[in-house]
Structure formats: structure tokens, C-alpha cells
């Protein structure tokens, strides 16, 4: 997921996203999904083998001079899963759990995400294994610039275009663009998306992923013949994606009864005052546990996942819905705002319980859709109004949802399988048409 987190490296340590260590390997989950879908599509074994491996992997050591004068070396990664449909596209995250397998998995998910919404990009992902909570703004800046220089040989506006992800933001993208421009000797703002607007960033980009989640939920409700006013929603992860989705759904009339971040959750069966909570977040950062209201109770993240709601939106980190809690989930609809929030075992449980799950590669594709629109604007040197960007986003998200829903109905499979099958079919077809070099 190209996910933006609206925090600055200069913010207090508590404002960064840090989750519990992963108990499952996301790359194993992604490969198992590839194998299953390849079998269902009866793919040529050679094409299956291509899709199962990243095209290119780069592991780098990133030495950084810290503010106290010592040198610390961080591990960095950039993985390009596929460039069959176009330049690789994917975020850069700064997190203690970043590793090569995570980058491989998220790069593959980006390939399917771009394919399922018809964006002419392939998939990539990268990051640095670090704890930005313990770093100053100047240290994060030096880390970013050195990491950019280390992976620059495989970057390029027609090769691989990074974007923000967990614990990175428009400022980090500005540092990347400036570093590349200095090394290349000319302005290369199109090297990244998710930039600040004054540097060529697109209007509407910061809200794009959360807006896409809201658009998808609206389409699900339409298919089910339900009204937003009759729908209760819980959102796990109140960062950029979760907060935007919750705010838009609240404006549409949905009742947001539960939200959470790394500090804990808030719950009110009568509905939360999202506008007031957003003011709290704006002044105090991502610490929902400090929010006080007489009709709001504190709950844990686990309690939020199993709360009595119509719709659950997991918008935090991967593998939050697992075999040990999937049976307790009471929501009838799950919209995956995060990348890989559901383990394979949990997905089987949810499917057996007839819970509708809109998979991440479709539900959170809004970020990469508007990243594509930003890239197009950069290449043309022609910029659009925010209303035009949002209209293009809505059209592409609705079209993607309709195609996945109809494909799933035709093949009599879940939305996740339908999305993967449609995406892999498109990439496999492109491989067949292009042929194998030489």
C-alpha cells in the first residue's frame, strides 16, 4: 500500500507508528496466494515462476552520522517485483521491522494493486530498518539522503518511483527528490510521488488512500442495498489512511463507533465525535488514549477488531486479523485499508463465515492511483485542480471495484481471489505478449 502517515520526523517519538513484532511472514502469505491463484488460472509454469520471484533486489548498508558524532549503520532495501506493465511503483517505510521478506511481499502486492485498478505501473517496495522515534529530524534527513544515494542506480521516473509509506511523508519525499536532483545535476521532481505540493505534488494525494477506502465502502453498501446512515464502522489505525476514511465516512452519514491507534482505542455505541477527535489528534498527535469524553470508553486494539459493528476497517500494520481472532470478528464487511492485514488462515475463516472482505490490493489502491496522476502531471508539467484529481480517483476506484465484484461473481470466488485472479491474469497476459528476452 502506498500509505502516507501525516507525521514529521521532528515530532515527538510517541507519534510514530510502531506495532508489535510480526508473528507471521507476509512473504510466505503472498507466495502462497500466488501459488493458489496460478493453479486456479492454470498458468503456464514458466510464467508462474516469473511471478513468484522479484525481478530485482537491492540490499544496502546505510551509514549515518548521528547528532552525537557516532556513526550508526542501518540496513536498507529496495525490491522491484515486476516492471511488466510499466515502471515500478511503491513506498518507502522506516520501521524497526523492515526486512527483505517484507519488502518482497509488499512489492508483489503493489504489482497486483496497480494491475487490478488498471494503472500502468509495476510493483516495488523499500525501506530502512530503523526506529524513527529515536532519531532527530536532521538524523532522518541524513538517513534519507544516504539511502537515496545507495539505491539511486535502480531508481528513475521511468524505472522505479518511490512514494511515502509507514513513517515517511512528503518531507521525506522532498529530501529524496532533492538528493536525486543534486546528484543528477538537474531537477528530477518526478522521481517520487507524494511530494509537497510546491515541489510538484498532486492536490488530493495526502487523502487519496483514505478517500479510496471510503469510495470502496460506498460501493459495497450500494451492492448490498444498505444506507450509510444505517451502518456502524470501526477503524483500526488512526493514521493518515484511517483518519481520512473515518472522517469522510462520518460526513457521509456512517456512524463511526470505534477507532484506535498504537496507544489504544475509543468506543461509543452512539457514535464518536470524529471532528472533535481530529482536533485532539492535530494538537497532540496519534495518542487517542489521551482523548477524554464522558460517553466514550477506552478499549484495546484487540477489542476494537472484535467490536459489534457492521464494517471493520483495519488500517494499521499487516497481520492484525489472524487465526486466533478471526472467529470472534462480528463485522459483516471488512475493508482492508492496510497492506496485508489478514493472514491466510484468518482469510479462510472469514470466507467460511460469509464475511465480505475487500482486499488491500483494491481497497487501499487510492494512494497509487493518485500517485499515478501526480506522475502524469509531473511529466506533462501541467497540474490539475483537486476536484479533477478526486473525480479521476473515484472513477478508477469504482471501475476497479465493479470489475473485481463482477469477476468474482462470474468465477464464484471471494473478492480477494477475484482481485488476485484478475490482477495476475493481466500481468501474465502482458508477459505472454511481450515474450521472454532474449
User: Nearest 5°: phi and psi at 312?
Assistant: -115, 130
C-alpha dihedral, 313 to 316 to 318 to 319, nearest 10°: -60
Largest CA distance in the chain: 69
C-beta of residue 239 within 8 angstroms of C-beta of residue 6? yes
DSSP string, 293-355: -TT-EEE-HHHHHTSS-SEEEE-SSS--B-TTTGGG---SEEE--SSS-B-HHHHHHHHHTT-
Considering 113, 125, 195, 255, which one is annotated as catalytic?
125
| Closest of 395, 2, 401 to residue 208, by C-alpha | 2
Which cell goes with 152?
539511486
Please state, in angstroms and as integers, the Cα–Cα distance from residue 250 to each residue in 21, 77, 269, 270, 421, following that order. 32, 38, 14, 13, 33
Alpha-carbon dihedral sign for residues 373, 378, 380, 381:
positive
Whether 113 is catalytic is no
Strand spans (E) along 151-202:
160-164
User: In b/e form, how buried is each residue of 342-351, taking b as 16+ CB within 10 angstroms?
Assistant: bbbebbebbb
Catalytic residues: 125
Amino acid at each position: 500500500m502506498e500509505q502516507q502517515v501525516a507525521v514529521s520526523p521532528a515530532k515527538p517519538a510517541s507519534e510514530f507508528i510502531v506495532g508489535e513484532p510480526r508473528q507471521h511472514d507476509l512473504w510466505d502469505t503472498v507466495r502462497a496466494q500466488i501459488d493458489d491463484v496460478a493453479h486456479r488460472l492454470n498458468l503456464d509454469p514458466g510464467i508462474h515462476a516469473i511471478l513468484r520471484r522479484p525481478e530485482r533486489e537491492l540490499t544496502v548498508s546505510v551509514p549515518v552520522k548521528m547528532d552525537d558524532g557516532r556513526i550508526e549503520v542501518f540496513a536498507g532495501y529496495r525490491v522491484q517485483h515486476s516492471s511488466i506493465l510499466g515502471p515500478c511503483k511503491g513506498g518507502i517505510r522506516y520501521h524497526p521491522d523492515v526486512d527483505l521478506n517484507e519488502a518482497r511481499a509488499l512489492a508483489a502486492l503493489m504489482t497486483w494493486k496497480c494491475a487490478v485498478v488498471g494503472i500502468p505501473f509495476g510493483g516495488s517496495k523499500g525501506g530502512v530498518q530503523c526506529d524513527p522515534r529515536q532519531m532527530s529530524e536532521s538524523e532522518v534527513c541524513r538517513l534519507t539522503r544516504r539511502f537515496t544515494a545507495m539505491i539511486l542506480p535502480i531508481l528513475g521516473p521511468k524505472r522505479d518511483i518511490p512514494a511515502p509509506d509507514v513513517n515517511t511523508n512528503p518531507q521525506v519525499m522532498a529530501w529524496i527528490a532533492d538528493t536525486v536532483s543534486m546528484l543528477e545535476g538537474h531537477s528530477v521532481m518526478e522521481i517520487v510521488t507524494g511530494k509537497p505540493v510546491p515541489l510538484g505534488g498532486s492536490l488530493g494525494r495526502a487523502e487519496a488512500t483514505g478517500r479510496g477506502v471510503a469510495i470502496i465502502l460506498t460501493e459495497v453498501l450500494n451492492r448490498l442495498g444498505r444506507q450509510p446512515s444505517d451502518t456502524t464502522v470501526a477503524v483500526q489505525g488512526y493514521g493518515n489512511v484511517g483518519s481520512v476514511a473515518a472522517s469522510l465516512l462520518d460526513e457521509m452519514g456512517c456512524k463511526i463507533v470505534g477507532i484506535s491507534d498504537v496507544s489504544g482505542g475509543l468506543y461509543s455505541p452512539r457514535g464518536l465525535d470524529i471532528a472533535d477527535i481530529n482536533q485532539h489528534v492535530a494538537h497532540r498527535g496519534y495518542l487517542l488514549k489521551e482523548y477524554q469524553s464522558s460517553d466514550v470508553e477506552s478499549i484495546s486494539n484487540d477489542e476494537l477488531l472484535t467490536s459489534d459493528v457492521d464494517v471493520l476497517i483495519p488500517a494499521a500494520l499487516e497481520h492484525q486479523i489472524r487465526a486466533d481472532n478471526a472467529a470472534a470478528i462480528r463485522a459483516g464487511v471488512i475493508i482492508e485499508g492496510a497492506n496485508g492485514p489478514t493472514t491466510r488462515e484468518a482469510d479462510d475463516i472469514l470466507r467460511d463465515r460469509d464475511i465480505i472482505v475487500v482486499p488491500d490490493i483494491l481497497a487501499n489502491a487510492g494512494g497509487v492511483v493518485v500517485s499515478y496522476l501526480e506522475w502524469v502531471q509531473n511529466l506533462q508539467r501541467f497540474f490539475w485542480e483537486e476536484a479533477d484529481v478526486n473525480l479521476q480517483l473515484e472513477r478508477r476506484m469504482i471501475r476497479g471495484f465493479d470489475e473485481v465484484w463482477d469477476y468474482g461473481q462470474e468465477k464464484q470466488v471471494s473478492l480477494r481471489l477475484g482481485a488476485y485472479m484478475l490482477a495476475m491474469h493481466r500481468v501474465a497476459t502482458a508477459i505472454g505478449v511481450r515474450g521472454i528476452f532474449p
